[in-house]
Amino acid sequence: MKTVFSGIQPSGEVHLGNYLGAIRNWVALQDQYRCIYCLVDYHALTQTYDVKDMSARVWDVAIDLLALGVDPERSTLFLQSMVPEHTELCWVLNNVTGFGDLERMTQFKDKSGTQADNINVGLFDYPVLQAADILLYKAELVPVGQDQVQHLELARRIARSFNHRWGRVFPECNPLLSSTPKILGLDGQAKMSKSLGNSITLSEPEKSVRKKLARAATDPARVERTDPGDPDKCNVFTLHGFFSDDDTRGWVRQGCTTAGIGCVDCKTKLADNVLAHLGPYYERRAALAADRDRVRDILHAGAEKARAVARRTMDEVRGKLGLWR
Ligand code: TRP
């Protein structure tokens, strides 16, 4: 059975974009693969953050993942900082990573622009820690978004350099891209993100979900109620694709292209369906939030399971390095 590994930043509550773009896929992969999912809190240190918020951020992502269907009976769910072998392997891999390769990473270049006051070495080394995350478990498949493909290419290169210099330990890892259509922010921006304030988190109250969807950006060409719209240029219609059945989508397409219905009608229907879809999730999340001990046990057990594998890999790695024992 192949091993799947993926990581998510503990940025607080999961939003609709994370769910549709990634987590849904994580849940489905559990049927076919040995899955290891990691909350990458050490990666999060590369950005400035409020110390007092961090544990709540981790907590919220953990219970969201569990509520959405990451199953600790079948998969390993754990916190990166509880398995120190991640940083240990990162240090080893640093020595087979080209400085120039890291300089070329577009995410590093982007972040150096947006956080120009804090361009630290951790930010530069971020992709090497990511490679260590994956290689520690010899994972072959890595479900990620398009924006992480460059990091995975680097991880493959690093694995090859290691194998070449010190002897074969690591397999090839490949991105597993989902076919999910791109979900824009509710304001129409290219990305749904909590920090941009254009997302719906999964634990948001009904009233707020309705209000946000009512204001969501639609096909910009449809200015007046009487203008026909193009559903294929409308983020709200993309969302209908996930939450509504064929009949409803047909009704929207027909109504939108002929100006038979207004955006308000379309959005009201979407809000109904989103809320119906998320109903069971709200219940599971509330149950987990009320049972801190259970969640803590799950994360500890996950870290134990992960560590057992990580220790074995590091023993093998140290053996190859020729370190004195
Ligand atoms: N860099 C990834 C992101 O920002 C998160 C991540 C860290 C990751 N380590 C990983 C993803 C290992 C896949 C595999 O989304």
Model pTM?
0.94
Those residues whose C-beta lies under 8 Å from the C-beta of residue 316, and which sit 6 or more positions away, are 169
Sign of CA dihedral 155, 161, 164, 165: negative
Between the CA of residue 70 and those of 23, 38, 73, 277, what are the distances in Å?
8, 11, 9, 17
* pLDDT on residue 182: 83
Residue nearest to atom 3 of ligand 1 (CA): 8
The CATH number of 3-183+292-321 is 3.40.50.620
* pLDDT on residue 181: 81
Backbone angles phi, psi at 65, to 5 degrees: -60, -45
User: How far out from the chain centre does Cα 309 lie?
Assistant: 23
d(CA 236, CA 266): 8
Does 132 have pLDDT greater than 90? yes
Residue nearest to atom 14 of ligand 1 (CA): 6
Q: Cα of 185 to ligand 1 centre, how many Å?
A: 21
Closest atom of ligand 1 to 139 CA is 14
Backbone angles phi, psi at 249, to 5 degrees: -65, -40
Q: Which CATH superfamily is domain 206-277 in?
A: Tyrosyl-Transfer RNA Synthetase (1.10.240.10)
Q: Quick check: 163 and 169 in contact, CB under 8 A?
A: yes
Strand ranges of the sheet holding 76-79, from the earlier edge strand across to the other edge: 76-79, 34-39, 3-8, 141-144, 174-177
What's the rounded mean pLDDT across residues 305-319? 98
Residue 5: CB within 6 Å of ligand 1? yes
Task: Name the residue of 151, 153, 174, 193 to mutate for ligand 1: max ligand atoms within 8 A of Cβ.
Answer: 151
What confidence tens digit (pLDDT) does each residue in 34-43 have?
999 999 999 9
* pLDDT on residue 92: 98
Task: Name the residue of 77, 106, 141, 144 to mutate for ligand 1: max ligand atoms within 8 A of Cβ.
Answer: 144
Residues identified as active-site = 111, 191, 194
What confidence tens digit (pLDDT) does each residue in 81-127 have?
999 999 999 999 999 999 999 999 999 999 999 999 999 999 999 99
Sign of CA dihedral 182, 187, 190, 196: negative
Residue 193: CB within 6 Å of ligand 1? no
Residue 40: CB within 6 Å of ligand 1? yes
Residues in the chain: 325
What confidence tens digit (pLDDT) does each residue in 59-80 have?
999 999 999 999 999 999 999 9
Residue 144: CB within 6 Å of ligand 1? yes
Residue 42: CB within 6 Å of ligand 1? no
Per DSSP, helices labelled H in the chain are 16-18, 24-29, 41-44, 51-68, 85-94, 99-103, 106-114, 121-135, 149-166, 206-214, 235-243, 246-257, 263-289, 292-321
Per domain, the residue ranges of the chain are 3-183+292-321, 206-277
* pLDDT on residue 315: 97
Residue 66: CB within 6 Å of ligand 1? no
Give the side-chain half-sphere CA count within 13 A for 324. Answer: 0
How many other CB atoms are there within 10 angstroms of residue 79's CB atom?
Answer: 20
Beta-bridged to residue 34, according to DSSP, are 3
In this prediction, residue 195 has a pLDDT band, given cuts at 50, 70 and 90, of confident
Q: Cα of 268 to ligand 1 centre, how many Å?
A: 35
Residue 148: CB within 6 Å of ligand 1? yes
What confidence tens digit (pLDDT) does each residue in 246-299 have?
999 999 999 999 999 999 999 999 999 999 999 999 999 999 999 999 999 999
Residue nearest to atom 15 of ligand 1 (CA): 8
How many other CB atoms are there within 10 angstroms of residue 82's CB atom?
Answer: 17
Residue nearest to atom 6 of ligand 1 (CA): 7
Backbone angles phi, psi at 4, to 5 degrees: -105, 135
d(CA 84, CA 311): 9
Q: Cα of 184 to ligand 1 centre, how many Å?
A: 20
Q: Quick check: 118 and 49 in contact, CB under 8 A?
A: no
Q: Cα of 179 to ligand 1 centre, how many Å?
A: 18
Do 206-277 and 3-183+292-321 have the same topology in CATH? no
Those residues whose C-beta lies under 8 Å from the C-beta of residue 95, and which sit 6 or more positions away, are none
Q: Quick check: 152 and 142 in contact, CB under 8 A?
A: yes
Amino acid (1-letter code) at residue 28: A
